[in-house]
Amino acid sequence: MTLKNFSFDVIAKDDFSRCGIIETHRGNINTPTFMPVGTQATVKACLIDDVIKTGSEIILSNTYHLMIRPGVDRIISAGGLHKFMNCRLPILTDSGGFQVMSLSKLNKVDREKGAVFNSHVDGKKFILSPEESIRIQKGLDSEIVMIMDECPKKTTDYKIINESMDLSLYWAQRSKDAFGSNPHKALFGIVQGGLFKDLRIKSLNELIKINFDGYAIGGLAVGESQNEMFDVLDDIKERMPEDKPRYLMGVGTPADILGAVKRGIDMFDCVLPTRSGRTGLAFTWKGKINIKNNKYQNDNAPLDANCSNLNLNKYSKNYLNHLFNTNEILASVLLTLHNINFYQELMSEIRKNIKNGTFDQFHDQYISKL
């Protein structure tokens, strides 16, 4: 069987917002798209078939965590990540760069070696270099591979961000060399530079010279305000390659997504809908709902009467409130699926409005509501 090459085409635009199609040998992805996060080869509290039924067309998994447990060799022996987790969707794997920041107390960054980790599970030492990150991601057999980068904590110290950005560019070239050439897979570069316009532009320009299959914007969703994030996107939106997918990493709320699509972003991932679902927070077209609140104890209406997908409209807010307040596992299952389904409904409406030339009106209608 001949495998389809990775490709991307823009099919509609409305100012800077755009619709496209990413083609992979495991299926097409309509953009703008939201990727549910399957950190440890599972989207928590969900069967993968149910995730697919929400309209999800790609998921994200985590290189660092899969390196720790169960280990890439075990996944390779199972036939790759797709077979291991019974997932027929395309998979994007992050590089482990975010964990360099989020688990900074457990690692030391070395320009040549990479990130030297002590496992958060058992203290075992790991060295995650750009070459090792790419080797692991190749072993996982993901369709979209991310370069190894350093994701710095939010700071106004220009020198720290500049040095971090420079390190990420050095690791980007090493990641590209290690990845080699594979027309059926994609390697994305990651734009760094904190909140500094000149560093973001320099990072993007240098990554374009290296030539990647897509370009991600990293180093956001680390404590900055929404306006600061949008300012970063505004600074580079006219400089991003038109013919490559644009991915805003780790973002975000529905309002974040609307604002980023307005600025030309095609791809998103975030743990927010799944993590919130496990803690009782539901996203709806009328805004967020804390289903644990006592006021829902006698509310026999569903979260969304119009949502028949997965029979989610058969469960009342009264019942969901009861499940959460009695710590029933079904509570996490139902609300996680509801939130993923809502996010996919949002992406579908975004795509429809871009194609109709009405995205600005849609954005203005929901940006403050969601």
- Report the C-alpha dihedral over residues 144, 148, 150, 151, rounded to 10 degrees: 10
The answer to whether 124 touches 69, Cβ cutoff 8 Å, is no
> Looking at the annotation, which residues are catalytic?
94, 269
Question: Residue 69 domain-assigned?
Answer: yes
DSSP H/E element including 114: strand 114-118
DSSP H/E element including 136: helix 130-140
Q: Supply the DSSP string of 57-83, one letter for each residue.
A: --EEEEHHHHHHTT-HHHHHHTTSHHH
Question: Residue 182 domain-assigned?
Answer: yes
Question: Residue 360 domain-assigned?
Answer: no
Domain range for 236 is 9-276
The CA R_g of the chain, rounded to the nearest whole Å, is: 20
Question: Residue 369 domain-assigned?
Answer: no
d(CA 319, CA 302): 9
- Look up the CATH number of the domain holding residue 113: 3.20.20.105
**Do strands 125-128 and 114-118 pair parallel, antiparallel, or not at all (unpaired)?**
antiparallel
Residue 334 has pLDDT above 80, yes or no: yes
Residue 101 has pLDDT above 80, yes or no: no
Domain total in the chain: 1
Whether the upstream peptide bond of residue 32 has omega within 30° of 0, thus cis, is yes
Q: Supply the DSSP string of 238-275, one letter for each residue.
A: TTS-TTS-EEETT---HHHHHHHHHTT--EEE-SHHHH
Instruction: Report pLDDT digits (tens) over 214-245.
Output: 999 999 999 999 999 999 999 999 999 999 99
Instruction: Report pLDDT digits (tens) over 195-214.
Output: 999 999 999 999 999 999 99
Two tokens, residue 344? 């996919």
Measuring CA to CA, how many Å separate 182 from each of 44, 186, 290? 31, 8, 46
Question: Residue 370 domain-assigned?
Answer: no
In terms of phi and psi (left: phi > 0; alpha: psi -120 to 50; beta: otherwise), the region of 6 is beta
Q: Kindly report the CA angle at 145 between 41 and 11, in degrees rounded to 5?
A: 105
Q: What percent of the chain has pLDDT over 70?
A: 98
d(CA 147, CA 41): 20
Residue 113 has pLDDT above 90, yes or no: yes
Residue 18 has pLDDT above 90, yes or no: yes
Higher pLDDT, 249 or 153: 249
Residue 161 has pLDDT above 80, yes or no: yes
d(CA 148, CA 80): 20
Average confidence (pLDDT) over 267-286: 98
If pLDDT is split at 50, 70 and 90, which confidence band does 122 have?
confident
Question: Residue 366 domain-assigned?
Answer: no
Of 276, 268, 172, 266, the C-alpha closest to 220 is: 268
Give the number of other Cβ atoms within 10 Å of residue 86's Cβ: 10
Residue length of the chain: 370
If pLDDT is split at 50, 70 and 90, which confidence band does 118 have?
confident
Q: What is the pTM of this model?
A: 0.97
Instruction: Report pLDDT digits (tens) over 291-328.
Output: 999 999 999 999 999 999 999 999 999 999 999 999 99
pLDDT of the residue at 106: 66
The answer to whether 63 touches 136, Cβ cutoff 8 Å, is yes
